[in-house]
Amino acid sequence: MKKYIVILLFFFAHILAAQNTESSNNVDSNIYNAKAVDKQPEYPGGLAEFDNFIKANFRKPETNQGMSGKIVAMIVVHIDGSISDMKILRDFGSGSGKETIRLLRMTSNWIPAEKDGKKVNTKMLLTLNIN
């Protein structure tokens, strides 16, 4: 009798483990290029709202208030809307890259990209014009 109970417990444990594996396989942990998705990641309110956020919060150093230029950054937008892996690919000096990273960390969650009707992690480029 004890032998049958142990076998039944083993059987149920195996079924539960298989269900957990199936549900975790439904989550796509790949990071897609933004060009490979059906719907691009988006800042809440769109790019215009993102530009407004950057313009309102970008701090120029007191010694160089007239600085301006273009910054190119790469980020990963995750399925939960959070962003990570922020990298500055091009800036115009005077701490503009560090300031951009500071602002990206302040942003609210993004709307994630979609591929085949499912939310996916996406790597994307951002170009910021600072005046």
- Residue 33's pLDDT is 94
Number of domains in the chain: 1
Task: Confirm whether 7 is domain-assigned.
Answer: no
Helix (H, G, I), strand (E, B) or coil at 114: strand
Task: Confirm whether 13 is domain-assigned.
Answer: no
Task: Confirm whether 73 is domain-assigned.
Answer: yes
pLDDT in tens, 68-84: 899 999 999 999 999 99
Q: Which domain holds residue 68?
A: 29-130
- Residue 1's pLDDT is 53
Q: Which has the closest alpha carbon to 130: 52, 86, 50, 71?
A: 71
Task: Confirm whether 8 is domain-assigned.
Answer: no
**Mean pLDDT score across all residues of the chain:** 84
Share of the chain above pLDDT 70, in %: 80
Instruction: Report residue 31's pLDDT band, with 50, 70 and 90 as the boundaries.
Output: very high
pTM value is 0.75
We report the CATH number of the domain holding residue 101 as 3.30.1150
